[in-house]
Amino acid sequence: MEPFVIAVPDAVLDDLFRRLAATRWADDFANEDWRYGANVAYIKELAAYWQDSYDWRSREKRMNAFSHFRTDIDGVPIHFIHERGKGPNPIPLILNHGWPWTFWDYQKLIGPLTDPVAYGGNEIDAFDVIVPSLPGYGFSTPLRVPGINWWKTADLWVKLMDRLGYARFATQGADWGAFISAQLGHKYADRVEGIHIQMFLPLDTLTGGHVDRAEFEPNDLPLFEKSKLFFAEEAGYMSLQSTKPQTPAVALADSPVGLLAWIVEKRRSWSDCQGDVESRFSKDDLLDTVMIYWITESYGTSARYYYEGLHTPWRPFHNRLPVVEAPVAIAVFPQEVVLSPKRWAEKYYNLQQWTPMLAGGHFGPMEEPQAVIDDLRRFFHLRR
């Protein structure tokens, strides 16, 4: 494992600005509400800000304020932040992002979790925080090993934590990170202090697993309809990335504006922003995400993560109930894209804490960071 500093060559930035200036824009009409996808007028506005006002060097400096490392595990390059906690007994905590996320979506959690006193908390609630980039995402590139998906990532994370000297650890995650965390609690329950997730689905969801309608209480039926609507209206990206990920990769590796539209549309649709994406993410926040994918040329391998999940199916490590035996906390954000009922969760997970959040959507650590911090502290306070 070696220290790593983010340092993007000037030539990469110069090439980006040339491409932005040469954009050929798609025509758009009757799309003020984004019903057809990304609204071109807004993407133009954001692209203009990218060219004229966004300062990558200042954002790069902010990222480099944390301790970054890179290592190789079984031929897979892994980038991660590792920050030690300031307290008498920090719990090692690995934070797992998803798509279209990056490690930087956890930026607002790292300081309060590692140094709680500095943020008005108690030193006994300190964590050693590890924030990896998923294989094939961001600086965990270039990925040249096929077959790497979320459940294989869980195996890699156990090896990573071994290298860091942690026999036991905790884990948190959303999107793919929720699946990774749940797999750690399923296969490695003896190693895991507890898991904290915000999206909770069967581990075989990508290959046909689902929560049966009968599991939904009458009051929970709107959740069932919400999930059906998501898979009917919002899952086109999933079908494409699960079957032919290299085709969009060819286009999005060439067009920064194309990548911008592909990612920002999901940030708007999946967050609790009520149609105003900048009520949850600043322009700088949105462009940070796009930039990390762009400068690392990682969209293609991030999209393949879906293909590998579908074509290398999950198989249970054991057949016991609950499926996830490590202690589990679930944070229920009201605008999460897919929500399952508590009655099912109590059977599938060793559920110890259930927290309905007042606001927030799919990107909880960025949308409602303090709520996530408070929920993590509460869950692990009694497990120290």
Domain boundaries, the chain: 2-14+55-381
216-242 pLDDT per residue, tens: 999 999 999 999 999 999 999 999 999
Which pLDDT score, from 0 to 100, does residue 382 have?
A: 87
DSSP 314-337: ---S---SSSEEEEEEEEE-TB-S
- pLDDT grade for 210, boundaries at 50, 70 and 90: very high
273-295 pLDDT per residue, tens: 999 999 999 999 999 999 999 99
Which residues are catalytic, by number? 175, 306, 362
| Angle in degrees, CA 71, 74, 79, rounded to 5 | 25
Superfamily of structural domain 2-14+55-381: Alpha/Beta hydrolase fold, catalytic domain (3.40.50.1820)
d(CA 190, CA 116): 27
Place of tokens 């220290």: 3
- Count CB atoms within 10 A of the CB of residue 174: 28
Average pLDDT value for the chain: 97
Buried b vs exposed e over 229-254: b needs ≥16 C-beta within 10 Å?
A: ebeeeeeebbeebbeebeebbeebbe
Q: What is the pTM of this model?
A: 0.98
The whole-number average pLDDT for the span 172-176 is 98
DSSP 8-state class, residue 360: -
Order of strands, sheet of 127-132, starting from the edge strand that comes earlier in the sequence:
2-4, 68-73, 76-83, 127-132, 91-96, 169-173, 192-197, 324-332, 349-356
Encoded amino acid at 249, one letter: A
Cis, bond preceding 3 (omega within 30 deg of 0): no
Which pLDDT score, from 0 to 100, does residue 384 have?
A: 87
Which pLDDT score, from 0 to 100, does residue 346 have?
A: 98
